[in-house]
Chains A and B, each alone.
Chain A
């Protein structure tokens, strides 16, 4: 796909890897749609969730995607607030990833609902004391903000290519560009508290429930913020590294080093919070907390718990190793590890918090369906549900997602990739020199070395990667280029804005 972009349309081969993968992703999404229709017609009893394990893979995936959507705000807004110009040429990619990720997170609520067609009740009959209402609002708001923020970043380039997506804001004079720049900076200051709110409120859905001692902890909100930073950076890094390998973007060693450093700090913070929580629970041995922790650390789901800690520690070791931070392989490996770690973290929280019913006396609590599930998740059939071994009561939660749950979640992952590809294909991802988010150049992004496909944005506008530290002294771009940073690319822009 990437090489084909240079060639005239008629000479492009029909079958390319790009098209093949898009077709494969589409097929998975269609299959997921079928799986979801099966779930709608049969009820969510087709999942392995039951009255003990009340929430399952969908909410785990929801929390994972919400957390992983933090990357855009880190790259775009932290970069802006702390004057880190070396990642600014990546803002659009990061925000696109965030936008798609939070969209998928919002959609993942639907398969979890027993009556999905009534979701609008949440807006009409909103109960303001419910953390879930606040989470729905903040997810919607965060998604809308990402969309608007991405648009502000791209507006000048969209206008330059006469796209209808500029929505009539077609002027690209100095005044308009200065307005865009102001909006970007204002948005950065707005995005940071918004992102904290998003991850805290998501944490408080479970963290405000005294009924579940394992969740009812002050550490939950900071932990979710930390793991959001970890997984958000990791997701952006993995995506960018894949794109770089495909020749679509130039990350630059400075940006890679900065992102890896940020990743290292946030993994360390997350591990610290985990240790603080484990130490507190172990010291007190208050039954509810301790039983759940003992189950997770020593019971049959111990691999999830230790997998979480192990992968996070391995990712940290990888990224702080002296030879590590500027190598893309190391960054990619560490990012993949911490993404797995975050998935484990969501899983162990969901399993640990729901492992025990609250009144654990025999016979336990009723399952909600006449038949007992096996631990693998398959509904046993042909056996009388009324035999003692097939009691519809359970005293301990068992959970292993069914094929249907996996199908739907994997389809959502495919939809994620598809939406990212659509965004990359049709949006001006690489800021043109005149764009308000155009960064200081670095040696890797010299005009000649930039792949042609990156230049799509503003035909006629000089190649990407050229600097513009502040709107006032940007135009003309060529003037700025001649006065550009030193050859080592390390020159910092003076504190702007």
Chain B
């Protein structure tokens, strides 16, 4: 893991406000048509970031028909299509922290333990967090997770000889103390070293794109400009920097009632075939 090429923060628990790319604005675009719901990104995220049992920074939601994206009463199971046979439809929505431009979590954190870096990544300071969970209340997307007890790792992390729990994943993500909030940080230690977040790298369907939204020629900028991207709950004014290319009804005949575009953002128009594929 530790190669001489990569630099990691001296104290992975503390603050990391410096970024080698201060002019960048990191963002992500997720193509819901490409996502196959395999959870590879979630598992890779869990492993790379050493997330304890029961804590997920990255999840794959099975989305149902809902134009607002906030149907809180949605029921049904994972991988369960909607509609009636043979007119079924199914779509996935991978979610991780949206790294809002105007994050409500950093606004309410009483100690500024969560903060937005210059490059737009919303970070956590595990040495400063007092565990009040107000940021979890404020996050409109439930992207923050809490270490309720002493973090448990999967049994595979235990040494057979000594019983010690050893550290998997990046050196920047050591075991957390109990009682602090954690969240996706776009794998800042990889990004700072010129790499992409781990979820981008492992996605077998290449449904995720990552890059600098301030660079007009970057892949994500092109997608945001030309694909019919939308944000989740743009009405809240948070300006999430994770964009979705909503599922279009295609393949398999499609359903009679097409899945309405999720999270409709009227300011963006779909330009067919410009970039997608």
Contacts and interface: CB of A to CB of B under 8 A. Distances in A.
Interface string A18-61: 00000000000000000000000011111101111011000000
B274 interface: no
B236 A210 contact: yes
A370 interface: yes
B78 A209 contact: no
Contact of A291 (B73, B93, B179): B73
B108 A129 contact: yes
Contacts of A344: none
A105 to B, nearest CB: 15
Interface in B78-104: 78, 80, 93, 95, 104
Contacts of B148: 43-45, 47, 49-50, 114, 368-369
B54 A371 contact: yes
A122 B133 CA distance: 13
Interface stretch (A303-311, A313-321, A357-365, A472-480): A357-365
A125 B113 CA distance: 8
What is the predominant secondary structure among interface residues of chain B facing chain A? Answer: loop
Interface stretch (A88-96, A131-139, A224-232): A131-139
B197 to A, nearest CB: 19
Given A51-B142, A132-B134, A362 B111 contact: no
A141 interface: no
B178 interface: yes
A132 B108 contact: yes
B66 to A, nearest CB: 8
A176 B20 CA distance: 66
A362 B142 contact: no
B180 A369 contact: no
A138 to B, nearest CB: 13
> How would you classify the secondary structure of chain A's contact residues: helix, strand, loop or mixed?
loop
Given A122-B111, A358-B141, A114 B146 contact: yes
Contact of A114 (B69, B111, B129, B152): B129
B140 A114 contact: no
A148 interface: no
Contact of B54 (A130, A288, A368): A368
Interface residues of A, number: 61
Contacts of B140: 210-211, 358
A365 B152 contact: no
B55 interface: yes
A393 B59 CA distance: 10
A279 interface: no
Contacts of A42: 149-150
Contacts of B54: 366-371, 385, 392
Contacts of B195: none
B70 A358 contact: yes
B15 to A, nearest CB: 10
A132 B236 CA distance: 21
B132 A113 contact: yes
Interface in A349-388: 354, 356-363, 365-371, 385
Contacts of A126: 110-111
Contact of B131 (A113, A287, A354): A113
B129 to A, nearest CB: 7
B186 interface: no
A276 to B, nearest CB: 24
A43 B147 contact: yes
B275 interface: no
Interface string A226-253: 0000000000000000000000000000
Contacts of A114: 129-133, 146-148, 178-181
A211 B139 contact: yes
B109 interface: yes
Nearest to B182: A368
B180 A115 contact: yes
A361 B81 CA distance: 12
A217 interface: no
B28 interface: no
Given A114-B129, A129-B108, A395-B75, A370 B146 contact: no
A127 B77 contact: no
A112 B142 contact: no
A51 B145 CA distance: 6
A9 interface: no
A73 interface: no
B130 A121 contact: yes
Nearest to B150: A43
A212 interface: yes
B138 interface: yes
A4 to B, nearest CB: 46
B132 A125 contact: no
Interface of A: 42-47, 49-52, 54-55, 109, 112-116, 118-119, 121-122, 124-127, 129-133, 136, 205-206, 209-212, 287-288, 291, 354, 356-363, 365-371, 385, 392-393, 395
Given A362-B80, A365-B142, A393-B56, 19 more contacts: A43-B149, A46-B149, A54-B136, A114-B133, A122-B111, A127-B110, A129-B107, A211-B104, A211-B138, A212-B137, A354-B137, A358-B141, A359-B70, A359-B142, A361-B71, A362-B76, A366-B55, A366-B145, A369-B149
10 contacts: A43-B147, A114-B132, A114-B181, A118-B130, A125-B111, A210-B140, A211-B104, A356-B72, A359-B93, A368-B148
